[in-house]
Structure 1
Amino acid sequence: MNNARIALVTGANQGLGRALAEGLAARLDPADLVLLTGRDPRRVADAAGEVAAAPGTRSRVEGRVLDVAHAENIAALAAELRESHGGVDILISNATTRLLPEHSQSAMADEYIDVANTATHTILRTFGPLLREGGRLLVVASSLGTLGHLPERLHPLFDNATLDQVEYAVESWRAAIHAKTAEEAGWPRWLNIPSKVAQVAAVRAVAAERRERDLATGTLIASVCPGMVDTATSRPWFSDYRQAQTPAEAARAVLDLALTPGVDPEQYGELIRFGEVVPWHSGTPLAEQDLLLTP
C-alpha cells in the first residue's frame, strides 16, 4: 500500500482552486501527490506544470483532466486512485460555473446545477468511501448556503435530509425552472442561493451517516466558505472589492482546515468560514440587489 498522501482539487486551473493546489503542494511532503484537475487538457497541463515548477513546491504535482459535470469521469478518476493508491487523503471540491449578472439565470440553470450540485452529490457518493482514515473531504460553498437564505416553506426540503432527498429537491428545483414555476414555488431567481444551500445540505447528509466512525478516526467532512475572493467568477457580483482577498489569501483558512490534524466535533459536517462554524439555520432571504454586496 502506498503511504504517501493523495490530495485532489477540482476546478484547479485558476483562481481559488489553483491557489488551493499551490498551497497543498507547498505544505505536503515530497512523497505526497497533489492532483490538479480541470476540464480543459491544455489549461490543466499548463497549470500543473507551473505549480510543479514553483519555488515553494515540495510535493509531487500532476494534472488530471476531469469534467465534474459527467459522473462517469468522476467514477473513472476514483477507480484510478483506488487501484493505484488505495484511496485519497484530501479532496477539495471546488469546481464551479461562472455566472454573470447580465446573463439569464434560467438559461444557465442546467450547466450550473450539473457542476455545483449534481457533481457534489457524485463526489460525495464516489469519493466518500475512498477517504482514508484521518482524511479530509471539503466542499467549497458560500455563506449563502445556510438554510435561512431560503423562504421558510422550502426549509423542509433540506433540513435533516438524506443525500437522496437533497438530490430530489435539487431536481425538483431544476424542473420548476424549466416549467417556469420556480418563483411561484418560492425558489430564489438567483441560482447560487438554492445551489449553495443544497451543497451544504448534501455535505450535512453524508456527514450525519458517517459521523461516529469519522470522529473516531480523525476524519473530516465539511463544507467551507472562503469569504470574498477577487476572481473573474466573483468580481461581477460585488460593487466594493476593498475587503476582497486574493485567491492565495482565501486559500489559507481552507488549507489549515485540510491539513491540521484532529477534528473538532463541533465543526464536523458543518459550514466552516475562517475556522468558525456558520450556523445552518442562520441567514435571511435576500433581495436581488443584496447579492451584489454579500460574500
Structure 2
Amino acid sequence: MVRMNASRIALVTGANQGLGRALVEGLAARLDPADLVLLTGRDPRRVAEAADEVSRLPGTRGRVLGRVLDVTDTDAVGHLAGELRDEYGGVDVVISNAVARVLPDESQAARADEFIDVSNAATHAVLRSFGPVLRPGGRLLVVASSLGTLGHLDPRLHPLFDGASLEQVEHAVESWRRAVRDGTAAEAGWPRWLNVPSKVAQVAAVRAVAAGRRAHDLAAGTLIASVCPGMVDTATSRPWFSDYSQAQSPAEAARTVLGLVFADGADPALYGELVRFGEPLPWPQGAPLVEQDRMLRP
C-alpha cells in the first residue's frame, strides 16, 4: 500500500468481533499514530466497547474509533464515504466484512432477505460508495470465500454473473431474492444454501467494478479484489462444521487479508480476482454442492 502524505484512513465493516475485529487490530498495529482505523458495526454499545478495547491493546499504534454503521442502509454507507472524502480527501483501506449469521437448523428461505441485504446489497453499496473515494495506492477488499467461484452454481445461472456489470449482478441478486420468496428458486437452479449464490454474487460484483477501472488502478498501485481467508473459527462459522482441527483463529486469518493491504503496489494477477492465500482462484472453478444442499431445511 502506498504511503500517503496525509494520514491513512482505514475502515472495516462487521468489525465488532471475529475476523472483522482481528482485521481492525491488525491494521491498528501496523499503521502509524497519525493514521485512523474506523471499527464499524450496527450496535452502538458493542461498537464503542470493541473500539475502546482495541485502542488499549499493547500493540496498537494507530488511532481507533468506533462508528455505528448499518451496511444495509445504502444512504448511511454513501454518507460515510462522502464524509471521509470531505474531511480526509478519501480513504486508503476499505474491508467489507459484514455478514448475517444463519444457523444450520434455521430455514434458509426465512432468513434470505436479511442475508441478502447484509451480504450482497451492502457489498454493492460499499463498492459504489467507496470506490470513487479510494485514494491512489488504496485497497478495497470484499471478504468472500472459495464458494464464490462461478462453478459452484448450476450452469443455467452462469450467464447471470459471468462478465456481468454491477447493475446486472444487482438484478441477478434481486431475481434470486424473488425466486426464494416465490418458492421457485429450486426449479430455476438456485441452491437452498444461501451462502453459495451470495458469495458468487459478491465476487461477481467485485469483478464488475474492477473491470471498469483496472488500468487506472494498476498504474496507481491500487487494488480491488475479493478475498477468501480460509476456514476461520468464529461464532458465525462454528455451527456449520464438526471438525475445526484445521481452522484458523481470526487473528491468523486476518494476516492473510492484511498481506494484501500492506503489499507494495498492486499485483495485476490478483486485481479483480478472488484471492486465497495470495493466489487467485480461477473464476470457473468448482461444482454445485449437491450434498450440502440436501442437508438443509427447505
Give the TM interval when normalised to the shorter protein: over 0.9
Structure 2 residue aligned with 1:206: 209
Shift of 1:105: 0.4
Local SS of the residue matching 1:76: helix
Rounded Cα–Cα distance in structure 1 between residues aligned with 2:137 and 2:272: 15
The equivalent of 1:107 in structure 2 is: 110
After TM superposition, give the deviation of residue 76 of structure 1 in Å.
Answer: 1.6
- Out of 224, 228, 245, the residue aligned to residue 227 of structure 2 is 224
In structure 2, what is the Cα distance between the partners aligned to 1:108 and 1:44?
24
Matching residue within 57, 62, 71 for 1:54: 57
Q: Is the 8 A contact 1:97 1:116 kept in 2?
A: yes
Q: Is the 8 A contact 1:137 1:221 kept in 2?
A: yes
What is the aligned partner in structure 2 of residue 22 from structure 1?
Answer: 25
Deviation at 1:242, TM superposition (A): 0.1
Q: Once the 2 structures are TM-superposed, how far is the Cα of residue 287 of structure 1 from its aligned partner?
A: 2.0
1:247 aligns with 2:278: no
RMSD: 1.3
> Which of 141, 145, 161 is residue 144 of structure 2 equivalent to?
141
Q: Secondary structure at the match of 1:167?
A: helix
Pairing of 1:144-159 with structure 2 (within 5 A): 144-159=147-162
* 1:248-267 Cα shifts (integer Å, max 9, x gaps): 00000100101112111010
The equivalent residue for 2:73 is 70
SS at match of 1:176: helix
Question: Normalization by structure 1: what TM-score?
Answer: 0.97
Deviation for aligned residue 1:204: 0.1
Q: Is the 8 A contact 1:253 1:274 kept in 2?
A: yes
Q: Which residue of 2 aligns with 1:131?
A: 134
Deviation of 1:2 (Å)? 7.4
Aligned twin of 1:165: 168
Match of 2:288 in 1: 285
Residue among 190, 195, 206 paired with 1:192: 195
Q: 1:291 to 1:230 in 2, by over 3 A?
A: farther
Residue 121 of structure 1 corresponds to 124
Contact 2:191 2:293 in 1 (8 A): no
Aligned to 1:275: 278
TM-aligned CA distance change 1:291 to 1:119, over 3 Å: farther
* Residue number among 20, 36, 39 corresponding to 1:36 in the alignment: 39
Gaps of 5+ in 2: none
SS in 1 for 2:67: strand
Letter in 1 for 2:277: F
- TM-score scaled by structure 2? 0.96
1:250-291 C-alpha deviation (Å, 9 max, x unpaired): 000100101112111010000001101111110011124389
Aligned letter for 1:139?
V
Counterpart-to-counterpart distance in 2, 1:69 and 1:105? 19
Report the CA distance shift for 1:180/1:291 in structure 2 as closer, same or farther (over 3 A): closer
The aligned amino acid for 2:206 is V
Shift of 1:78: 1.0
Alignment-mate amino acid for residue 15 of structure 1 = G
The CA deviation at 1:9 is 0.2
For residue 240 of structure 2, what is the aligned residue in structure 1? 237
Residue 98 (structure 2) aligned to one of 87, 95, 98: 95
Unaligned 5+ runs, structure 1: none
Asked if structure 2 preserves the Cα contact closer than 8 Å seen for 1:28 and 1:58, the reply is yes
Question: Residue type matched to 2:40 in 1?
Answer: T
Q: Which amino acid aligns with 2:95?
A: I
8 Å CA contact 1:230, 1:245 repeated in 2 = yes
Alpha-carbon distance in structure 1 between the residues aligned to 2:272 and 2:71: 22
Deviations 1:102-132 (A, max 9, x none): 0000110000000000010111011000000
1: CA distance between counterparts of 2:5 and 2:260? 24
Gap change, CA 1:291 and 1:244, over 3 Å in 2: farther
> Quick one: which of 7, 18, 27 aligns to 2:10?
7
Percent identity between matched residues is 74
